[in-house]
Amino acid sequence: MRNALCRARQQTDELFRLVRPDALYERPIPERHRILFYVGHLEAFDWNLIGRYALDVPSFHPNFDHLFAFGIDPPPGQLPADQPTDWPGMDEVERYNRRTREEIDARLDQVPEQLLHVAVEHRLMHAETFAYILHQLDYSKKAALRTRVVESGPPAPAMVEIPAGSAQLGMPNGDFGWDNEFRAYELEVPAFSVSKYKVTNGEYLEFVNRGADPPFFWKKSGGEWLYQGMWGAFPLPLDWPVYVTYEEANAYARARGMRLMSEAEWHRAAAQSPVSCNVDFRHWDPTPVTADDQAGGPVAQITGNGWEWTSSEFAPFPGFEPFAFYKNYSEPFFDGSHFVLKGASPRTAACFLRPSFRNWFRPSYPYVYATMRLVES
């Protein structure tokens, strides 16, 4: 776990170095904190969890412990109003971060293994959520890297029949998981048919041409649709999965006379389907929906190359108990206003590829790397 924490720190440090110093007080996503918050948040979280909660070490900077403690998820129309001058200088934040790591590293042997798992996975979650923020930062304010655009041509439409059977949701006791992954239970799922491939940009373009709004990651220039990638804009790859909101995914499915998978149906479809190669920070942007056909399995890219919206509201499993040390991780979001996503995106760390892991977002949130798959009953 010490090595895992070290690797996770290296990954987030590398991400923050991609931001030009004069952009650290920018807020690329209006609903989220300024970039500087995330620089301090990861260390403050580790300190509050390990230094204060687990080991009861006296605080050396209580103001920062509080300032950088929590992210935000404001309801629509309630955006934060803080100003750059409300935040401390980067030099002071870096000193806090160094001291925090020194204090924690000197005591790692005393930390319960569960809390080390929490620290590592929390940091890697933010490696992905910070990628969403970095994606929206103006190209001139971040490092100039290149994207290799891989295309293979549109797939032939295909539906896969999934027989009726039981689906296990959640994590068996004994392994590490987050509170909303417990307790494991089984559901009987009727037979259904699911599209072999994620819905592509090309398929969704037909929907846009009939009057639907374009997805957030598209823009039109000179009569041509462009994809706004992490490091630049380029002609829309028609065979990539379309990244959409839940509301857009649901509307598209209805227009096609179909629907989205439930969380339990995702588990049935994923049971014998392989993980895509486009996970664990391998690429910055998507790859074609057919890129992993050589891997076999009935349903392509059920995990990887884009989270998949489900029709299931984010809700507790029977017997749910919040973590005593992180009570606001899941419970505040059991509000009927967040929907479950399953699978993984290109920027999802390998530790989250376990089937029980649950992601969730508001239905209109456009920044997440989330796509869809169609279902017929």
Residue 296: give its domain's CATH number: 3.90.1580.10
pLDDT along the chain (377 residues), means of 10: 96 97 96 96 97 96 96 84 95 98 96 96 97 97 83 84 96 90 95 97 97 98 96 96 98 98 97 92 95 83 97 97 95 97 98 97 97 96
Going by DSSP bridges, is the β-strand pair 370-371/307-313 parallel, antiparallel, or unpaired?
Answer: parallel
Tally of structural domains, the chain: 2
Look at residue 236 and tell me if it is in a domain: yes
CA–CA gap between residue 126 and residue 68 (Å, rounded) = 14
pLDDT at site 209: 97
CA–CA gap between residue 77 and residue 30 (Å, rounded) = 10
118 and 168: one domain? Answer: no
183 and 73: one domain? Answer: no
pLDDT at site 172: 84
Q: Which residues contact 369 (CB under 8 A, 6 or more apart)?
A: 132, 243, 286, 306, 307, 345, 346, 347
- What 8-state DSSP symbol labels residue 175? S
CA proximity to 243, closest of 302, 305, 295: 305
CA–CA gap between residue 219 and residue 370 (Å, rounded) = 18
Look at residue 147 and tell me if it is in a domain: no
pLDDT at site 308: 98
pLDDT at site 265: 98
CA–CA gap between residue 316 and residue 115 (Å, rounded) = 21
Look at residue 316 and tell me if it is in a domain: yes
Domain boundary among 84, 106, 141: 141
Look at residue 49 and tell me if it is in a domain: yes
Instruction: Please give the residue range of the domain that contains residue 137.
Output: 2-141
Instruction: Give the CATH number for residue 8.
Output: 1.20.120.450
62 and 175: one domain? Answer: no
Going by DSSP bridges, is the β-strand pair 374-376/192-195 parallel, antiparallel, or unpaired?
Answer: antiparallel
